[in-house]
Each structure stands twice: as C-alpha cells, then as structure tokens.
Structure 1
Amino acid sequence: MKLFAWLRSSAPALDDELRQRLAALPGPAAYGVQPLREQRWVVLDLETSGLNLNRDQVLSIGAVAIEDGGIDLGRQFERTLHRPEQKTNASVLIHGLGPSALAAGSDPAEALVDLLEFIGDSPVLAFHAPFDQGMLGRALKETLGYRLQHVFIDVAELAPMLNPDTVLREAGLDDWVARFGLEVQARHHASADAQVTAELALILFSQARRQQLDSPLQLEQRLRQWRRRAVHSHGL
C-alpha cells in the first residue's frame, strides 16, 4: 500500500485544461519521404542549469519553425521557466539567467505544453540533439507525465557528414557558424541559438539536396550509415 501511495503522490498534478491540451496533441510523425522543402521542422535550443542529464534543469526554451524552405519569422517560441529554487552557478555567466529572471518565468507545465503544441508532429533539429532530447524528455516526464517520442536530427552530426572535406576537431556551433560566414547578433540565449541553428540547417539542407538527399528519411538513413563508418574507423 505504501508503494502505491508513493506512486500516486509522485505523479504530476495537472489541471483539467492542461490534461485536455495534452490529450489533443497529435502523435509525432516518423521520418517522411517528402522533399526537404515541404517538411516542417522545429529547431530547438535549451538553456539548462548544467550538463548533467539526471540532475540539472531546463531553464529556458527557444524554438523556431522552418516551413516552405525558410525560417518562419512570424512563429518563434521563447519561454524562461519559473525556477525560483535554482541557485546561481557558473552557467549563469554563459546564458545570463539570474534569479530575478527565473523567479519571473512561466509556469513550467504551461510552458512545456505550449512547446509541444508549437512542435506538433514535426521532427526536431538541434545542435548536439541527444542532450536537448534527453533534458527535454526528462522535463516532460517529471512535469507532465508525458513521454517524448518525436524524432530528432542532430545538426552537429549533419554538418560534418555533408562536409567531409572540412576538418574541425570537436566542432561546436560557433565553429560551423564561422565556417559558413553566418552573421550572429547574439549567442547563448535559447531563442538566438535556435535561430542560428536554423540558419545553419538551411545551408545544410541545400547541400543535402545537391548530394541527392532530399527527404528526412534519406537524411536519417545516411546519418546512420555515417555513424557506423565513424565507429568502424575508430576501431570500436
């Protein structure tokens, strides 16, 4: 009996409106065969309290949509989450989210449902996507009891796969931004990083089409092959 009581007490308490909005969400789509220009993508970036997937928290979310082959400037997503318990640490020096900003942030449950509605059934792009996918997945589970099932493509893998002649050791987003000469007004804010990642993704999609990769499914299949070759070349 004590075990069942603990399970009930640990379940997220959501109001009826949030439950209804969660129930109305579309199921995530699989990788499609439509041309890249016809696919709607959501480019995601998170600012977090640190890099520990099991302990740290999502503090801020930025996302932009790519539709019809371009960034939809009229539909951008940005939320800072209400985290008044978050202590100031070294990450604040990077993203600038101090106690006052976190205390004035949005209710995490409301913000995360807003994000899921913004994403819809679209595949998600992110730079170092496994980290964003893991952090977001844990936040959704703990806050909403929701299991993240959307497909993610890692722009940090897509860039070197499509540019094998470019040698950048452990390249970060700034390295690829410099490689393609993109102008960046700001960095290390979730919305700004999502915007520049989307601009980089559009360049990579153009390269992919020139390499006869013109659907999300083809990109994903080529990425799997690229990963296997990378593992084999390192003797793992």
Structure 2
Amino acid sequence: MLRSLRRAADRRRQVNGRYGWLFNPYTGDELVAIDCETTGLDPRTADLVSVAAVRIKDGRVLTSDALDLRLERPASLTGESIKVHGLRGIDLHGGVSLGDALERLLDFIGNRPLLGWCVDYDVAVINRQLRPLFGFDLPNATVDLAQAYRRRMRRTHPQVEPHLGFESVARALRVPLMQRHTALGDAVTTALMYVRLKQGALEAC
C-alpha cells in the first residue's frame, strides 16, 4: 500500500518532467535483468559499487547490448568492508559518478519490468540513491527469479524441497555461471536462468 501511494505521488510530480514517461504502463514484450554489487548487505546503508542490466526479448538474452557500469569508489567503502564483501580491485578504481550511472540506468531500463535474483534488494539500494538525486523511486514492475523458481518447483515437483541458492538454481536449470559476483555476470546468469525456466527446463527434469 505504501509503495503504491508513493508511486502515485511520484507520478504526479514527474508527469511533465523528463522521466514522466517511466510511469506509463509498459506494453512491450521485454524484461530487463539487473544486478548490483554493493558495499554491504543492508539496503538501508549499502552503497553501489557497480550495476548492470541486460534485456531479454523473444527468449533471447541480448548480451551485446548490455549496460555495465562501475561507479566511483563510495566514501563509505573501508578496507574492512572490501575484505568482508570480497570486492575486487577492478571494482574500486575509476568509474562514473553516481548521478551519471543512475541517469544511464534509467535511460536503459525505461519502463520495462525488472528481473532480478532477490530483486527487492537491488531495487531498494538503487532507490535509496535515486530519490535524493531524481526525486522518485523506480516505478517498474519487478519479477523475482528466486520466487518464480520456487513457484515452478512447487507446481512441477511438489514432493521436492527446492534449494534456493543462486548456484543451486543455476545447476538445476543447466545454466553456466557467468563471472560470478560481478554485476554483469550475475545479471546475465539471472537472465539465462529465467529464459530456461520459461522454456520448461524443470518440466524436462
């Protein structure tokens, strides 16, 4: 309820702005798989290190047109958090500003539905950065792959308790792990898993 009220208020404020069109209902047939690498696991405090997005259309993952952004090193990123969260050196140097990254992300995803592994976390982290700079939260519909996989397993194999780890689901769907723990690799793997799930990979098991 609160999210719906906030979205309605955001729509009214943005109706004549540059991003007012993001609040229009999506009528196409694409999804966008997203993933974020962050400085922590709590969306209330985690900052973005990198973000990636890749489109899915007609059962194909359009990797040649993917978005892959590394951000400037957040001030909150300490040596201890680098070790705890296993961030790589390449993730911590160079990169674009937060504002530029969010602008490019909005232009890329548009008003398409967003697909992700535990997608609410990624959306919450993005929204915490997006609202102060742009004045709204992402209005996109979302599809959570972990939940979609659980529902499909209950329907096709009700006697089996599904293992819902990222790697376990990838193995079950026979999808290779693409550069695990990078934003682009995890976004592409998520997209491939979704395609396999929709193609009936579990029914064939």
Instruction: Give TM-score scaled by structure 1 length.
Output: 0.69
Equivalence for 1:23: 18
The 8 Å contact of residues 47 and 59 in structure 1, kept in 2 or not, is answered as yes
Which residue matches 2:111?
Answer: 121
Supply the AA of the counterpart residue of 2:78: K
Q: Which residue type is aligned with residue 125 of structure 1?
A: L
Partner of 2:162: 168
Runs of 4+ that moved beyond 3 A: 28-32, 89-95
Distance 2:67 2:81 in 1: 25
Task: Give per-residue Cα distances to partners, 1:118-167, cap 9 Å, x unaligned.
Answer: 00110000000111111111111133333221111100100010111242
Aligned to 2:194: 201
* Deviation for aligned residue 1:25: 6.0
CA distance, structure 1, for counterparts of residue 131 and residue 44 of structure 2: 12
Q: Secondary structure at the match of 1:160?
A: helix
Alignment-mate amino acid for residue 196 of structure 2: I
1:80-99 equivalence runs, <5 A? 80-85=70-75, 86-90=77-81, 92=83, 94-98=85-89
Cα separation, 1, equivalents of 2:111 and 2:178: 30
SS in structure 1 at match of 2:177? coil
The letter for the 1-side match of 2:143 is: I
Flag structure 2 segments of 5+ consecutive residues without an equivalent.
1-16
Contact kept in structure 2, 1:62 and 1:191, CA below 8 Å: yes
Secondary structure of the corresponding residue to residue 74 of structure 1: helix
Per-residue deviation at 1:190? 0.4
CA root-mean-square deviation: 2.4
Partner residue in 1 for 2:43: 53
Match among 145, 153, 161 for residue 143 of structure 2: 153
Q: Whole-Å Cα distance in 2 between the matches of residues 92 and 145 of structure 1?
A: 33
Q: TM-score, normalised by structure 2?
A: 0.78
| 1:187 match | 180
Q: CA deviation at 1:74?
A: 2.0
Contact 1:64 1:71 in 2 (8 A): yes
Larger radius of gyration: 1
- Aligned position for 1:39: 29
Q: Matches of 1:200 and 1:101 in 2, distance apart?
A: 25
| Unmatched runs of 5 consecutive residues or more in structure 1 | 1-21, 33-37, 211-236
SS at match of 2:62: strand
